[in-house]
Chains A and B, each alone.
Chain A
Amino acid sequence: MKNSLAEQIKTRYSDGRKIETDSLGEIVIWAKSPTDMVDTANDLKNDQETRYNYLTDLTAYDNVDGVDGDGRFVLVYQLYSLENRSRVRLKLLLREGDHAKSVSIHFTGANWLEREVFDMYGIIFDNHPNLRRIMMDDRFVGHPLRKDYSLRQRQPFSNNIGLHLGTNPLPNTNEGRVNLNDFYNPNVLLNLGPSHPAMHGTLRVMCRVNGETIEDAACELGYLHRAIEKLGENKTYHQWIVYTDRLNYCSSLANNVAYCMAVEKMMGISITERTMVIRVMAMELARIIDHIVCVAINALDLGAMTVFWHFYYWREEAYTMIESMCGMRLTTSYTRIGGMSQDLPDNFVARMKRFVEEFPKTIDEISNLLTSNRIWIDRTRDVGVITKEEAIKYSLMGPVARASGVDFDLRRDRPYYNYSSLDFDVAVGSNGDVYDRYLVRMEEMRQSTRILKQCVDRIPTGPIWVDDKRVKIPNKQDVYTKMEDLIHHFKFFMDGVDVPSGDAYSSIEAPNGELGFYIVSRGGPKAWRMRVKSPSFMLFQNFEQVVKGGKIPDAVATLGSINIIAGELDR
Chain B
Amino acid sequence: MSKDGSAMIFPMLLEEAAKWARKNSLWPMPFGTSCCGIEMMSTLSSHYDLSRFGAEVVRFSPRQCDMLLVAGTITTKMAPVLRTIYDQMLEPKWVLAIGACSSSGGIFDTYSVLQGIDEIMPVDVYVPGCPPIPEGFLYAVLHLQKIIEGKIPRALSNKPTHEDAVNAMTYKNCVSRTRDQVIKAGLTITPEYVSTEKSKQEGR
Could you list which residues of chain A lie within 8 angstroms of chain B, going by C-beta atoms?
Answer: 135-137, 139, 141-142, 144, 148-161, 194-197, 201-202, 222-227, 230-231, 242-243, 245-246, 249-250, 293, 308-309, 312-313, 315-316, 319, 329-331, 566-567
A243 vs B109: C-alpha distance in the bound complex, in angstroms?
12
A139 touching B171, Cβ below 8 Å: yes
Q: Which of B8-16, B18-26, B30-38 contacts A (4 or more CB under 8 A)?
A: B30-38
Asked if B199 is at the interface (CB within 8 A of a chain A CB), the reply is: no
Q: How many A-B residue pairs have CB under 8 A?
A: 163
Residues of chain A within 8 A of B31, CB atoms compared: 195
Partner pick for B34 among A144, A156, A157, A567, CB 8 A cutoff: A567
A316 vs B49: C-alpha distance in the bound complex, in angstroms?
12
A196 vs B33: C-alpha distance in the bound complex, in angstroms?
11
With A137-B77, A223-B77 known as contacts, the answer to whether A154 contacts B174 (CB < 8 A) is yes
Distance in angstroms from A488 CB to nearest chain B CB is: 26
A313 vs B73: C-alpha distance in the bound complex, in angstroms?
27
Distance in angstroms from A369 CB to nearest chain B CB is: 16
Partner pick for A149 among B82, B173, B187, B201, CB 8 A cutoff: B187
Residues of chain A within 8 A of B79, CB atoms compared: 156
A388 vs B17: C-alpha distance in the bound complex, in angstroms?
62
Distance in angstroms from A211 CB to nearest chain B CB is: 23
Q: What number of B residues sit within 8 Å (CB to CB) of A?
A: 55
B185 touching A153, Cβ below 8 Å: yes
Main secondary structure of the interface of A (DSSP, over half): loop
Asked if B39 is at the interface (CB within 8 A of a chain A CB), the reply is: yes
26 pairs, CB–CB < 8 Å, chain A vs chain B = A135-B112, A148-B186, A151-B111, A152-B109, A152-B110, A154-B112, A156-B174, A157-B76, A157-B171, A158-B169, A158-B170, A195-B60, A195-B81, A195-B82, A197-B60, A201-B33, A224-B72, A226-B75, A226-B110, A231-B108, A249-B34, A329-B42, A331-B35, A331-B131, A566-B33, A566-B34
Residues of chain B within 8 A of A156, CB atoms compared: 76, 79, 114, 168-171, 173-174
A293 vs B111: C-alpha distance in the bound complex, in angstroms?
31
B188 touching A136, Cβ below 8 Å: no
Residues of chain A within 8 A of B35, CB atoms compared: 245-246, 249, 330-331, 567
Partner pick for B46 among A152, A243, A309, CB 8 A cutoff: A309
List residues 46-82 of chain B with CB under 8 A from any CB of chain A. Answer: 46-47, 60, 72-73, 75-82
A154 touching B111, Cβ below 8 Å: yes
A535 vs B56: C-alpha distance in the bound complex, in angstroms?
33
A160 touching B84, Cβ below 8 Å: yes
A148 touching B84, Cβ below 8 Å: no
Could you list 14 further interchain pairs (A-B, Cβ under 8 angstroms) beyond the known A148-B186, A160-B84, A196-B60?
A153-B181, A154-B178, A155-B76, A156-B174, A158-B204, A201-B37, A223-B33, A226-B75, A226-B108, A227-B110, A246-B35, A312-B47, A316-B47, A330-B131
A367 vs B42: C-alpha distance in the bound complex, in angstroms?
22
Residues of chain B within 8 A of A197, CB atoms compared: 60
A149 touching B111, Cβ below 8 Å: yes
Could you list which residues of chain B lie within 8 angstroms of chain A, going by C-beta atoms?
Answer: 31-35, 37-39, 42, 45-47, 60, 72-73, 75-82, 84-85, 107-114, 130-131, 133, 166, 168-171, 173-174, 178, 181-182, 185-189, 193, 197, 201, 204
A157 touching B185, Cβ below 8 Å: no
Which of chain B's residues has its CB closest to A235's CB?
A: B107
Residues of chain A within 8 A of B47, CB atoms compared: 312-313, 316
Residues of chain B within 8 A of A316, CB atoms compared: 42, 47
Which of chain A's residues has its CB closest to B189's CB?
A: A141
A154 touching B76, Cβ below 8 Å: yes
A249 touching B38, Cβ below 8 Å: yes
A246 touching B169, Cβ below 8 Å: no
Pick the most buried of A156, A159, A224, A249: most chain B CB atoms within 10 A of its CB: A156
A224 touching B78, Cβ below 8 Å: yes
A150 vs B184: C-alpha distance in the bound complex, in angstroms?
10
Which of chain A's residues has its CB closest to B120's CB?
A: A156
Partner pick for B80 among A157, A227, A243, CB 8 A cutoff: A157
With A157-B80, A157-B170, A159-B80 known as contacts, the answer to whether A227 contacts B42 (CB < 8 A) is no
Which of chain A's residues has its CB closest to B130's CB?
A: A331
Sort A-B residue pairs by CB-CB distance and give the 4 closest, nearest first.
A227-B110, A249-B35, A197-B60, A156-B76
A156 vs B117: C-alpha distance in the bound complex, in angstroms?
13
B110 touching A151, Cβ below 8 Å: yes
Distance in angstroms from B44 CB to nearest chain A CB is: 10
A160 vs B80: C-alpha distance in the bound complex, in angstroms?
6
Residues of chain B within 8 A of A227, CB atoms compared: 108, 110-113
B186 touching A157, Cβ below 8 Å: no
A62 vs B110: C-alpha distance in the bound complex, in angstroms?
19
B73 touching A157, Cβ below 8 Å: no
Residues of chain A within 8 A of B130, CB atoms compared: 331
Which of chain B's residues has its CB closest to A144's CB?
A: B111
A365 vs B27: C-alpha distance in the bound complex, in angstroms?
33
A158 vs B177: C-alpha distance in the bound complex, in angstroms?
16
Residues of chain B within 8 A of A309, CB atoms compared: 45-46
